[in-house]
């Protein structure tokens, strides 16, 4: 039998570790997102970018006018807008990643059956998962750069370390996206998706975007600090305000563990999802 | 020519406790056109998904092109073109983009795919819709696009799950013609369908499934010979009287089937049966003599009519 091009390509990976799950083409899944993005998701991207900026303008400069400066948590006083900017960056990284890995993934999994189409080809489930997460990260990166491009000229990033807030935002997005995808794999209806919001909204309100956690009693502070969004905010705020210490590495480690757990669960769930 | 591309032994698939496919055996030869017939829920799609390496079996042996689809998923899928029962076009993309990206999933180069797109659009009769979003296509157009899409990777085996559902008669005939040519070029076809004329036209061999088991297997002509008579007489006495008339007519023919709207009388010479009926003083509202078809085989094997 004459080998078709598709077969020759698939055979190249034959015998390699994980060839059952991974065909080495997650970039094609990313390519698909880019094509789709060109035409339809502009609105979502723009919203993702505008939202934190609107929060910043209304709270940072509106509420900020009454507050003046605030203790950044390291004993240094900073303007209220500079205090909340990193919180908003971390939050938008989370929101973007969660949106992509829950709503979008759910839609492609259950409604449009896009993943079924992909997996009818010689792609493997891991190609799909990695490609989709890569897209969430790329968007996270674009959001972060856009946000920084607005806030840095306003003087809200006092330290040069602040540049690292961009990769930090991508790390945060990676953590949330991989966990989000793992969770979405258990959902069977759109209604269940609102559970995600029930968890996210209080986390957003209480994780210290808008005020220092010192307003809470000690034991509550401890609990909140363990939450992923709070970890994210501490990391980004430390960078933008230049409060560099070993503690920041613990936040990085926190997200690395989160990514590992998320990918582990997602990969294990892929079979259940795609090979029913 | 007797090379078996697909071999299935004792294939069983359970969803929880429910047995969807119950220990079936069959094989498909190269360049053969192989059909699956059966009522809703018979397990046809489930079987096809397992062959297409997109579903895990519970037990049994499956070999596609000499390999186990559960172990060599991506490698086997590289040989296949799949038209699923449920549409799964990329609704965010245009017609052309759908063809393009699907080829890319197989790892094919942009250049290679672009050289094929015009032919595929032609095949799907969607040349003038090439830059239209898939959402804006009619149901039949979507179906044609899915079929064209399955060919982008030049598959050796084409798996078609109810390919012509939703197509108008003209599009169906065009598709039959194209499938026939693909088969002549050496492609192996697996087809499920609820259209008996389609099965008779397209399939060299077929299996009739019901409740997860194979009821029978053979060529359309063999099956008709085995399970039906040469001719059939269809008579209608009106829906209230059909059932009452059945006992009287039973002795006039080889076999009788009473459907809600009509009675089917199986005989070698149906014309003669009709004469007997009229001779006995019964006057059906309408009567029709026809040759036996797969429809009758299906009815006999599954106890169900397709046109209910
Ligand atoms: N993912 C699933 N989970 C649970 N049960 C399933 C699943 N898929 C199919 N089934 C069940 O398995 C049986 C066979 O389904 P299948 O789709 O194979 O039937 P089919 O022969 O293709 O029918 P149709 O002609 O309606 O397409 C049905 O009873 C169906 O309810
Ligand atoms: Mg089916």
Every domain of chain A and the residues it spans: 40-64+75-274
Model confidence pLDDT, tens digit, residues B244-282: 888 888 888 888 988 888 899 999 999 899 999 888 888
Is the pLDDT at A1 greater than 60? The verdict is: no
The minimal CB distance from B105 to the residues A4, A5, A123 is found for A123
Predicted pLDDT at B308: 41
Predicted pLDDT at A194: 85
Which ligand has the nearest atom to the CA of B212? 1
Three-class DSSP labels, A80-108: HHHHHHHHHHHHHHHHHHHHHHHHHHHHH
Please tell me the distance between residue B47's alpha carbon and the centre of ligand 2 in angstroms: 9
How much is the average pLDDT of B88-100? 95
SS3 B23: strand
Which residue's CA lies nearest to atom 17 of ligand 1? Answer: B45
Structure-token match 């397209």, residue found: B202
Which residue's CA lies nearest to atom 29 of ligand 1? Answer: B41
For the beta carbon of residue B114, count every other beta carbon within 10 angstroms. 13
Predicted pLDDT at B249: 85
In sign, the C-alpha dihedral spanning A38, A42, A44, A50 is positive
**How many degrees, rounded to 5, is the angle at CA B288 between CA B282 and CA B292?**
120
Is the pLDDT at A162 greater than 50? The verdict is: yes
Minimal Cα distance from B104: which residue of A? A28
Q: Which residue, among A27, A219, A214, has the nearest Cα to A134 in the 3D structure?
A: A27
What are the contacts of A60-67 at 24+ separation with CB within 8 A?
A: A60/A84, A60/A85, A60/A156
As a whole number of angstroms, the distance between CA A92 and CA A86 comes to 10
Q: Which residue, among B202, B201, B140, B195, has the nearest Cα to B168 in the 3D structure?
A: B140
Please tell me the distance between residue B58's alpha carbon and the centre of ligand 1 in angstroms: 15
CA R_g for chain A: 20
Q: Are the beta carbons of A25 and B105 separated by less than 8 Å? A: yes
Chain A: residues touching B (Cβ < 8 Å): 1, 4-7, 9-11, 13-14, 19-20, 23, 25, 28-29, 31-32, 35-36, 39-41, 112-114, 116-124, 271, 274-276
The answer to whether B220 touches B47, Cβ cutoff 8 Å, is no
Please tell me the distance between residue B306's alpha carbon and the centre of ligand 1 in angstroms: 18
Pair of tokens at residue A57: 């303008």
Chain B: residues touching A (Cβ < 8 Å): 15, 52, 54-56, 71-75, 77-80, 82, 84, 86-94, 97, 100-102, 104-108, 112, 133, 153-156
Chain A positions in Cβ-Cβ contact with residue B101 (cut-off 8 Å): 28, 31-32, 35
Residues 6+ apart with CB under 8 A from B59: B10, B11, B12
As a whole number of angstroms, the distance between CA A172 and CA A162 comes to 15
Please tell me the distance between residue A106's alpha carbon and the centre of ligand 1 in angstroms: 22
Predicted pLDDT at B1: 41
Chain A positions in Cβ-Cβ contact with residue B14 (cut-off 8 Å): none
**Neighbouring-strand partners of residue B59:** B12
Percent of the residues in chain A that have a pLDDT greater than 70, as a whole number: 96
The answer to whether B266 touches B232, Cβ cutoff 8 Å, is yes
Predicted pLDDT at A2: 58
Model confidence pLDDT, tens digit, residues A8-20: 888 887 777 777 8
Q: Are the beta carbons of A116 and B93 separated by less than 8 Å? A: no
The answer to whether A102 touches A193, Cβ cutoff 8 Å, is yes
How much is the average pLDDT of A73-91? 87
As a whole number of angstroms, the distance between CA B204 and CA B89 comes to 30
**Neighbouring-strand partners of residue B264:** B234, B257
The minimal CB distance from A28 to the residues B78, B91, B105 is found for B105
Is the pLDDT at A36 greater than 50? The verdict is: yes
Predicted pLDDT at A41: 59
The answer to whether B88 touches A112, Cβ cutoff 8 Å, is yes
The minimal CB distance from A113 to the residues B55, B78, B86 is found for B86
As a whole number of angstroms, the distance between CA B160 and CA B179 comes to 10
Interface pTM (ipTM) of the complex? 0.85
For the beta carbon of residue B187, count every other beta carbon within 10 angstroms. 20
What are the contacts of A66-73 at 24+ separation with CB within 8 A?
A: A70/A211, A70/A212, A71/A212, A71/A214, A72/A212, A72/A237, A72/A241, A72/A243, A73/A212, A73/A213, A73/A214, A73/A237, A73/A243
Q: Do strands B59-64 and B33-37 pair parallel, antiparallel, or not at all (unpaired)?
A: unpaired
As a whole number of angstroms, the distance between CA B32 and CA B204 comes to 6
Most confident of A137-141, A165-169, B192-196: A165-169
Which residue's CA lies nearest to atom 3 of ligand 1? Answer: B15
Confidence of residue B307 (pLDDT cuts 50, 70, 90): very low
> Which of these ranges, A44-58, A194-208, B59-73, has the smallest mean pLDDT?
A44-58
- B54–chain A nearest CA distance, Å: 5
Collect residues with CB below 5 Å from ion ligand 2: B 45, 85
> Which of these ranges, A14-18, B214-218, B232-236, B298-302, has the smallest mean pLDDT?
A14-18
Which residues lie with the beta carbon below 6 Å from any ligand 1 atom?
Answer: A 276; B 15, 20, 38, 40-46, 85
Residues 6+ apart with CB under 8 A from A245: A238
Predicted pLDDT at A74: 67
As a whole number of angstroms, the distance between CA B124 and CA A197 comes to 43
> Which of these ranges, A68-72, A227-231, A270-274, has the smallest mean pLDDT?
A270-274
Which ligand has the nearest atom to the CA of B55? 1
Q: Which residue, among A92, A49, A244, A95, has the nearest Cα to A159 in the 3D structure?
A: A244
pTM: 0.87
Model confidence pLDDT, tens digit, residues B114-170: 999 999 999 999 999 999 999 999 999 999 999 999 999 999 999 999 999 989 999
H/E stretch holding B75 reads helix B73-77
Residues 6+ apart with CB under 8 A from B279: none
Predicted pLDDT at B184: 92
The answer to whether B73 touches A20, Cβ cutoff 8 Å, is yes
**How many degrees, rounded to 5, is the angle at CA B219 between CA B213 and CA B220?**
95
* pLDDT averaged over every residue in chain B: 92
The answer to whether A231 touches A252, Cβ cutoff 8 Å, is no
How much is the average pLDDT of A215-243? 91
Shortest-distance atom of ligand 1 to CA B209: 21
Please tell me the distance between residue B37's alpha carbon and the centre of ligand 1 in angstroms: 14
Most confident of A263-267, B12-16, B196-200, B266-270: B12-16
The answer to whether B220 touches B294, Cβ cutoff 8 Å, is yes
Model confidence pLDDT, tens digit, residues B218-230: 999 999 999 899 8
Residues 6+ apart with CB under 8 A from A268: none
SS3 B105: helix
Number of H helices, E strands in chain A: 13, 2
């Amino acid at each position: 039998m004459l080998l078709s091009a598709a077969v020759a390509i698939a055979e190249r990976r034959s015998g390699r570790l994980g060839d059952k799950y991974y065909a080495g083409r997650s970039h094609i899944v990313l390519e698909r997102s880019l094509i789709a993005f060109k035409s339809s998701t502009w609105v979502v991207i723009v919203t993702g970018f505008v939202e934190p900026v609107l929060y910043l303008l209304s709270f940072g400069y509106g509420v900020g006018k009454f507050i003046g400066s605030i203790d950044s948590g390291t004993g240094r006083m900073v303007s209220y807008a500079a205090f909340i900017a990193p919180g908003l960056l971390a939050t938008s990284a989370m929101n973007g990643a969660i949106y992509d890995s829950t709503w979008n993934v759910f839609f492609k999994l259950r409604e449009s059956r896009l993943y079924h189409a992909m997996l009818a080809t010689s792609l493997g489930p891991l190609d799909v998962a990695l490609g989709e997460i890569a897209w969430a990260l790329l968007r996270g990166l674009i959001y972060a750069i856009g946000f920084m491009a607005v806030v840095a000229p306003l003087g809200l990033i006092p330290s040069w370390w602040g540049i690292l807030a961009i990769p930090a935002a991508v790390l945060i997005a990676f953590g949330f996206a991989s966990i989000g995808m793992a969770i979405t794999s258990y959902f069977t209806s759109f209604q269940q998706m609102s559970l995600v919001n029930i968890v996210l909204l209080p986390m957003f309100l209480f994780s210290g975007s808008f005020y220092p956690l010192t307003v809470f009693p000690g034991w509550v502070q401890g609990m909140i600090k363990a939450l992923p969004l709070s970890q994210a905010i501490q990391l980004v705020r430390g960078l933008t305000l230049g409060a560099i210490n070993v503690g920041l590495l613990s936040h990085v480690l926190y997200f690395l563990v989160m990514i590992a757990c998320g990918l582990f669960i997602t990969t294990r769930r892929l079979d259940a999802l795609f090979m029913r | 020519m007797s090379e078996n591309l697909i071999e299935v032994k004792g294939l069983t698939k359970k969803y929880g406790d429910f047995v969807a496919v119950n220990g079936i055996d069959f094989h498909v030869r190269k360049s053969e056109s192989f059909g699956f017939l059966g009522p809703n829920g018979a397990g046809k799609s489930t079987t096809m998904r397992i062959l297409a390496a997109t579903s895990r079996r519970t037990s049994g042996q499956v070999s596609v092109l000499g390999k186990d689809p559960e172990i060599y998923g991506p490698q086997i899928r590289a040989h296949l073109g799949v038209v699923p029962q449920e549409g799964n076009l990329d609704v965010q993309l245009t017609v052309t983009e759908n063809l393009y990206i699907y080829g890319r999933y197989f790892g094919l180069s942009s250049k290679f795919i672009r050289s094929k797109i015009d032919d595929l659009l032609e095949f799907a009769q969607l040349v003038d819709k090439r830059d239209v979003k898939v959402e804006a296509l009619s149901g039949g157009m979507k179906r044609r696009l899915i079929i064209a899409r399955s060919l982008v990777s030049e598959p050796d085996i084409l798996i078609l799950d109810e390919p012509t559902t939703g197509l108008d008669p003209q599009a169906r005939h065009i598709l039959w013609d194209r499938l026939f040519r693909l088969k002549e070029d050496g492609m192996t076809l697996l087809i499920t369908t609820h259209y008996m004329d389609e099965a008779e036209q397209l399939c060299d061999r077929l299996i009739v499934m019901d409740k997860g088991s194979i009821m029978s297997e053979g060529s359309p002509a063999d099956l008709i010979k085995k399970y039906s008579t040469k001719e059939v007489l269809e008579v209608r006495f009106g829906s209230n009287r059909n059932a009452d008339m059945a006992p009287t007519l039973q002795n006039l023919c080889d076999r009788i089937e009473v459907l809600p709207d009509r009675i089917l009388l199986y005989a070698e010479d149906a014309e003669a049966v009709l004469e007997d009926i009229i001779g006995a003083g019964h006057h059906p509202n309408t009567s029709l003599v026809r040759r036996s078809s797969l429809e009758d085989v299906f009815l006999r094997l599954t106890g169900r009519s397709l046109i209910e």
